[in-house]
Amino acid sequence: MTLYIIQSTGEMTECTNKEVALASSNVLIVISHNQKKIYSWIGSQSSPHSKFACARETARLRMELGYKIVNLEESSTNNEFLEAIDEAINAPSGGFATKPKPKTRTAPKEVTSKPKTRTSQKKVPVKKVTSKPKEKKEAEPRRNEIKAVKTKITDVEHIFKQLEVLPPMEDSIRDYILVGDSLFIAPENIEKSDSESKVQLPDGSFVADDYVPRLFLENGKIIAVELWRQN
C-alpha cells in the first residue's frame, strides 16, 4: 500500500478509502510508481505536528526511491494526484503496481587452489618492552567550541513578540520557530485548546528540507530561526 495518513505522533497509517483519506484534517503521503512521484497532501485543518512529520517522511522516501516530491495543499488538489490515489488503492499488497523482476543468480566460479608448501622457520625470541604509562592531560576547552544554550520560557515569549513585528515572507506560511536547541510551533498556528507550543521531536536523524529558513539576529548573534513553507 502506498497511501498513508500521517498522524500527529509521526506514525504512518495505511488507508484504502479515498473519501476518508481526503478529509481536511488529514496529511497524506501518496507514492506513485507510475508517475515516479511522491505526493504530500496537506489538509486545510491539519495539525502542524503532522505537517512536520510529513516533511521528514517525504525526504526519507525520496532518498530511498529517488522520486520527485510534489507538495499540494487541499485547495490545489489536481487530477494527477487523484490518479495517484487510485493507483495506490488498487495496487497489490506491498505498494507496487507491478512485481519487481527477480535478480538472476550466477553460478559461483570454481576456484582451484595450489597446495601450500610448508617451510620450517626458527622461532626468534621476542623481548618484551615495558613502557611507562602516559600521563593523561586534562582536555582543554576549544576556543571555537559552541555550547548549547538553554532558553527560558520568558526569553521565548520576548523573541516571539519581536518576530511578530517583522513582515512575513511572500507567499509563505511560518510553521515553526527554532530558539536555542528547542523547536516551537509558530504562535499563529497554535490551537486555542493546545497550550503546549514546544515540539517533541522523535529520536533519530531526518532532513526537513521543505522549509525556507529566515535568521533573526541581534547584536551579532543568531537569536532565532524561522521555518517558512511555501503556500
Domain ranges of the chain: 3-90, 153-230
Query: Grid coordinates standing for 59?
Result: 525526504
**Burial bucket for residue 226 (CB in 10 Å: 0-12, 13-18, 19+):** buried
Domain 3-90 matching CATH 3.40.20.10: the answer reads yes
Entry pTM: 0.47
Q: What is the dihedral of CA 44, 25, 55, 185, to 10 degrees?
A: 80
Range with the lowest mean pLDDT among 6-10, 106-110, 178-182, 202-206? 106-110
Average pLDDT, the chain: 75
Q: Higher pLDDT residue, 219 or 38? A: 38
Cα–Cα dist 190/196, whole Å: 8
Query: Which pLDDT score is estimated for 26?
Result: 93
Cα–Cα dist 5/3, whole Å: 7
The answer on pLDDT for 146 being more than 50 is no
